[in-house]
Amino acid sequence: MERNWLGWTTVRGTVIHLDPMYTIPPRRSWLRIVLALVLLPAMGLIALLAFSFWIAVRIVFPRFARDTNITDLFVMLLTFHRTAGPRPQIPVRDLRVRESGRGEHSVRLVGQLIGANVNVGDDVTLSGFSRGGIINVHRGINHRTRSVIRVRA
Say whether both 48 and 69 belong to one domain: yes
pLDDT value for 136: 92
Per-residue tens of pLDDT for the chain, all 153 residues:
676 767 788 999 999 999 999 999 887 778 878 887 888 788 888 888 888 887 787 777 766 655 556 666 666 666 666 666 677 889 999 999 999 887 899 999 999 888 888 999 999 999 999 888 899 998 999 999 999 999 887
What is the residue range of 46's domain? 30-83
The number of folded domains in the chain is: 2
Q: What CATH number is associated with residue 122?
A: 2.40.50.140
Last residue of a domain, one of 83, 103, 120: 83
pLDDT value for 18: 93
* Per-residue CA distances from 98 to 10, 80, 87, 104, 124 (Å): 13, 48, 35, 4, 10
pLDDT value for 108: 94
Say whether both 50 and 98 belong to one domain: no
Say whether both 47 and 68 belong to one domain: yes
Say whether both 95 and 142 belong to one domain: yes
pLDDT value for 132: 84
Say whether both 69 and 93 belong to one domain: no
pTM here is: 0.64
Helices and strands of the chain, counted as H and E runs: 3, 9
